[in-house]
A and B are shown apart, each in its own frame.
Chain A
């Protein structure tokens, strides 16, 4: 899913990286604890979080996250924005809560980590198409 789609679906405010909205994310991950992110996230992901400090961006850099969506209307702090600019990580903000943000993106086809790993999303889609 392209970031411009994420931006539209979640009605986001772009904090930094508006020149990178053409980039694509392959998978979504929603978490507020960074150790959970590190344990479960896949490469080229979109991270949805309520954690707004610099560690959200540093974790994103380690885990090869393309963009972060800060949920519940939270804005990242200055250090986080500066680091994201330096590292080319896109930061978005939505007023939607975590559950609805993840749900809307999933509904529009952005896979979860377990599906990406197992190829389950494609299998589910194939089953669904076969029943139509």
Chain B
């Protein structure tokens, strides 16, 4: 049976909002600090959330990010409406990127995002439907 959440919050993410990009992840970082999560776990969760949030800003029209904290884990769910990922295995490879020059000028599109999320998470599930969007479920065990 899933554990009852101790904390839950949802954030809206706006595609192409380069100035606001990252604010949800910064808020998540602050919440986890207030809850008393260890600094190394906060760092992993913040980095993974930020990468996921940036992916929505850079590639999708809009999306949501949901933080759920239970006695057992921290879960970050990200859902976007966007182009989707045709080949997830390829997209997970370090260095693989479909980023435009504009995105690279923003300092992103190194092809490290998804693999970096996986590296920092304890569990990472990604689902995508081309032309519809992508869903990420990122879990950190407490």
A101 within 8 A of B: no
A61 within 8 A of B: yes
B116 adjacent to A39 (CB under 8 Å)? yes
CB distance from A41 to the nearest CB of B (A): 9
B107 adjacent to A59 (CB under 8 Å)? yes
Residues of A within 8 A of B (CB): 32-36, 38-39, 43, 49, 51, 53-56, 58-59, 61-64, 79
B108 adjacent to A55 (CB under 8 Å)? yes
A-B contact pairs, 20 of them (CB 8 A): A33-B108, A34-B107, A35-B51, A35-B111, A35-B112, A36-B110, A38-B50, A38-B51, A38-B112, A39-B112, A39-B115, A39-B116, A54-B19, A55-B18, A55-B106, A55-B107, A55-B108, A58-B50, A63-B47, A64-B43
In the complex, the 4 A-B pairs of residues with the closest C-beta atoms, listed nearest first: A35-B110, A33-B110, A35-B112, A58-B22
How far apart are the CA atoms of A51 and B105 in the complex, in Å?
8
CB distance from B15 to the nearest CB of A (A): 15
How far apart are the CA atoms of A6 and B115 in the complex, in Å?
32
Interface residues of B in 20-37 (CB under 8 A from A): 21-22, 25-26, 29
Residues of B within 8 A of A (CB): 18-19, 21-22, 25-26, 29, 39, 43, 46-47, 50-51, 54, 104, 106-113, 115-116, 119
Contacts of B47 in A (CB 8 A): 38, 62-63
Beyond A38-B47, A59-B50, A64-B43, whether A53 also contacts B107 by CB under 8 A is yes
How far apart are the CA atoms of A109 and B19 in the complex, in Å?
36
Most buried by B among A32, A38, A59: A38
A38 adjacent to B107 (CB under 8 Å)? no
Apart from A33-B109, A39-B119, A59-B107, what are 9 other A-B pairs with CB-CB below 8 Å? A34-B108, A35-B116, A36-B110, A38-B112, A38-B116, A55-B18, A55-B106, A55-B107, A62-B29
